[in-house]
Structure 1
Amino acid sequence: MKEILEENMTGVNAEGNYPNTPLRVLTAKSIIGDKVHNMNDEYLGDIKDIMINIIDGTIEYYVIEFGSWLSLNKKYFAIPFDMLKVDAERQLFLFDQPKSALENAPGFDKSHWPETNIHYYDYDSNANWTFW
């Protein structure tokens, strides 16, 4: 018990050489700006924001900015929390979708965010992720 209290006061984890291994917690600040790739290692975008359900404290979805840095046609997508996986070794997130799924999906632009209290998404067994 004394060790736990000391860890809480100092931030030093006394358990092993790698205190956050396997990765268990991250700050929101450390996630925002992280890159998102697909399983083919194609760059899909960056995490721009995290939407939190303030009723139960869970993450509802990540906001992903898709498009090249030169592109004026950037799109934003609301990706459900459980559809992104952390690649701790490479310090990025993985989204199991082809780049074409985001290229062809409508997304939303920076000036026209979806209603934050009504968010719809679906994922079917054919790996067709949609946002409407």
Structure 2
Amino acid sequence: MRRRHTPDRSGDDSKRGTLVERNVVDEPGHVLTTANALKGSKIIALDGEDIGNVFDIVLDLHDRRIAYAVASSGGIGEMLCAIPWNAMKYDTGDKCFHLDVTAAHVKGTPGFDEEHWPVMTRSPWGLSLHQYYNRTPYWVAE
């Protein structure tokens, strides 16, 4: 069986941030990587439009889960927006994330800049964002 994982950190930076395959006898279907390796990954909307890149990944340390991806549109005066992690699916072949909503839908998400992030721990903010993406909040038992 094959497992993808991050390269060793022994000092060879030429492969840092890439997924490397190794033969590992383990459970099938697992893809492991670091959050840092995913930064910069393209995010593609349902209509095929590239809506930006992963700027950062937000972790909920209390629930021990990935909460959000922060998407960047890039360019001068770039705007950021949060996307619930469970609204994205990673495509290991194309090495990008796919959403099941259109680019126009994503562009309707309230944006923020790098200096003025929303308070993501506020329940109304999180509930509103998850509802906008038609997702069950990650902190609600499924």
Counting matched residue pairs gives 111
Residue by residue over 1:84-129, the C-alpha shift from the partner in whole angstroms, topping out at 9 and shown as x without a partner, is 00111000001122111233333112221001322421336xx679
Name the SS for the 1:122 alignment partner.
helix
Check 1:73–1:98 CA distance in 2 against 1; reply closer, same or farther (3 A cut).
farther
The one of 21, 41, 46 equivalent to 2:48 is: 41
TM-score by length of 1: 0.69
Q: Which runs of 5+ in 1 are unaligned?
A: 1-11
Instruction: Tell me which of 110, 113, 128 is aligned to 1:106.
Output: 110
What is the 5 A alignment of 1:1-132?
Answer: 13-15=23-25, 22-67=29-74, 69=75, 72-118=76-122, 119-120=125-126, 121-123=129-131
Q: CA deviation at 1:45?
A: 0.6
Distance, in Å, in 2 between the alignment partners of 1:21 and 1:88 is: 14
**TM-aligned CA distance change 1:87 to 1:79, over 3 Å:** same
Cα distance in 2 between the residues matched to 1:128 and 1:20: 31
Structure 1 residues 35 and 20, CA, compared in 2 at 3 Å: closer, same or farther? farther
Is this contact kept in 1: 2:46–2:100, CA < 8 A?
yes
Distance, in Å, in 2 between the alignment partners of 1:63 and 1:115 is 13
User: CA 1:47 to 1:59, structure 2 compared with 1: closer, same or farther past 3 Å?
Assistant: same
Between the aligned partners of 1:44 and 1:93, the Cα distance in structure 2 is: 10
Q: What's 2:7 paired with?
A: none
The letter of the residue matching 1:99 is A
Tell me how far apart the structure 2 counterparts of residues 82 and 42 of structure 1 sit (CA, whole Å). 19
| Aligned-residue CA RMSD (Å) | 2.7
